[in-house]
A and B are shown apart, each in its own frame.
Chain A
Amino acid sequence: MLLAQQIINGLMLGSVYVMVAVAFTLTIGMLNFLNFTIPALFMVAAMITWAATAAGFHWLVGASLGMVVAIIASLIIERFTYRYMKAKYGDATEHALPLVSSLGFLIIFEHVVIMIWGTDPMSFNSPFANAQFVIAGLIFAIPQLISLALSVALVFALSLLLKKTQLGRALRSIAEKPDTATLMGVDVGRIVPVVFMMTGFLCALAGILFTINYKNVSPYIGDHVATNAIAGMVIGGLGNIWGAIAGGLIIGMVEVLSIHFWGAEIIKVPVWGLMLLILVFRPTGLFGHTRIGKGKF
């Protein structure tokens, strides 16, 4: 029974990883860019949700503000990492520099937040603390169920968008052959920011749900969640949004079950050990990966 409860908890936690893993996998799949500011976007949305609520505003005010700030921040990051490098060197995807500059943004964001609110973890007074139900002795927290449902629904919607819409085709064409996409009339400079807006949205949503579910924030939560999301993404398969679901949920379960069996100190070892093991036996992740193709003419 206790184990069943842990599995449920693991899935719920994993659903937050799923959203962040999707954000990572989108930028990697589309732009071949490992965006290191993702943890900061997650954390900023979480901290703003907490800070506004602590200051007496409705939690929705904080969440909306966090969402807007994360999306704007993500667009700024696009402007100064990806686009800057592309304008300067022709093809950002062939340089490690965007990765390094995104790491710079991560550190700056974290330290700005630390300067404002300090490093101590803060507790979030959740309006849904008692929103739960019990089936056969198993506890289901409603906000957690909502995040699980949302993460699956979002991946579903995203995959429809990519498959069936004009915007989705434009995004996939940029992923495969940016020059040929331009040749078809795709304005790459206008479409790429869409990826970053999606990134900001997904990270902020994950950050807000994490805050509500786990009632704790700190300037460093983004690092923990995002590194686990990276492991989840790799396990699922780079660039594959369906893989991100599986990977995120697996990581959530491994984490919770490791705590259950071995205690909290060790959790990074099974999570990253599993990822390395999977890389050895299936370098493409469990679900292979969509082509991260780049062709030139």
Chain B
Amino acid sequence: MLLEIKDIDVRYGRNHAVKTISLNIEQGEIVTVLGANGAGKSSLLKAVQGMVRLSGGNIIFDGEDISRWSAPKRVQNGISLVPEGRQIFVSMSVEDNLLMGAYSRKEGDISAEIEAVFERFPNLKERRHMSAAVLSGGEQQMLAVGRAMLARPKIMMLDEPSLGLSPLLVKQLFELIKELNDNGLSILLVEQNTHMALQYADRGYVLELGDIVASGTPDKLLADEKLTEAYLGGG
């Protein structure tokens, strides 16, 4: 088991955002977490990254209990989050954003990997020295993914990466996720675009008001009529 989330709770004051939930991800899997607004999806990812404190439960990563590790330490050890809303550094150049992605890495030369990201995203390459503020939404999402790749994670978590992208870009993004996964990267994907997510995922969980209300293979989730009506955007 690569990542084991055991009975975790996240609270913001009196607001109980994640209610004692457990989920796990095997090495090499794409696991998706679905749910409506406010279901606690982002809180779950932030808890795994160490950006919010757990008020209960444990997170085991690669056999170690990381529940008390700081976020930077988790990044160093192979957990990367592509946050909701991309969170590109708009005061920096495209290239500096990628260099920030590699911040946690100790070993020397990353220029080859940066070039590899640029080969993959020619639009970014053209604008490498420009301010990241000039990028389109799609380009920013690619930059956010490229930035996370440069941390060389073992697991990449993506928080609603398809939000605001055109159907064509959404398709490209999922193909990219699939390709990264084929190269051995495990993926924890939070999405509201349920059909695309379930098409690419190995397994899924459905979150409702902080609780897991369903889980299983995409086929199983899609076969459940009540579920598709309530959470998965109709038949």
Contact = CB atoms under 8 A, between A and B. Distances in A.
Contact of B100 (A169, A179, A187, A293): A169
Contacts of B151: 184-185
B192 to A, nearest CB: 16
Contacts of A177: 87, 89
B72 interface: yes
Contact of B51 (A166, A183, A187, A295): A183
Interface of B: 42, 49, 51, 70-72, 75-76, 81, 83-85, 87, 89-92, 96, 99-101, 103-104, 147, 151, 159
Given A182-B71, A182-B72, A183-B49, A176 B89 contact: yes
A162 B70 CA distance: 25
Nearest to B76: A185
Contact of B87 (A166, A170, A180): A180
Contact of A186 (B42, B87, B103, B159): B103
Interface string A45-82: 00000000000000000000000000000000000000
A110 B87 CA distance: 43
Given A185-B151, A297-B83, A180 B89 contact: yes
B90 A182 contact: no
B71 A183 contact: yes
A291 interface: yes
Given A173-B89, A186-B72, 11 more contacts: A169-B99, A175-B91, A180-B89, A181-B100, A182-B72, A184-B100, A184-B103, A185-B72, A185-B75, A185-B103, A186-B100
Nearest to B85: A297
Contacts of B85: 297
B51 A173 contact: no
21 contacts: A166-B103, A169-B96, A172-B91, A173-B89, A175-B91, A176-B90, A176-B92, A180-B87, A183-B81, A184-B104, A184-B147, A185-B72, A185-B103, A186-B100, A187-B70, A187-B72, A291-B90, A291-B91, A293-B91, A297-B84, A297-B87
A190 B45 CA distance: 24
**Secondary structure dominating the interface of A:** helix
Contact of A290 (B76, B89, B91): B91
A185 B76 CA distance: 7
Contacts of B42: 297
Contacts of A175: 91
A169 B90 CA distance: 12
A295 B92 CA distance: 14
B10 to A, nearest CB: 15
B94 to A, nearest CB: 13
A290 B89 CA distance: 13
Contacts of A182: 51, 71-72
A166 B89 CA distance: 15
Contacts of B101: 184
B141 to A, nearest CB: 14
Contact of A172 (B76, B92, B147): B92
A248 B159 CA distance: 46
A64 to B, nearest CB: 34
A183 to B, nearest CB: 6
Contacts of A172: 89, 91-92, 96
Contacts of B70: 187
A173 B100 contact: yes
Contacts of A185: 71-72, 75-76, 103-104, 151
Interface centre among B70, B76, B91, B101 (most CB of A within 10 A): B91
Nearest to A291: B91
A159 to B, nearest CB: 14
B185 to A, nearest CB: 17
A182 B75 CA distance: 9
Nearest to A297: B83
A263 to B, nearest CB: 44
B103 A169 contact: yes
A170 B42 CA distance: 24
A293 B71 CA distance: 22
A90 to B, nearest CB: 11
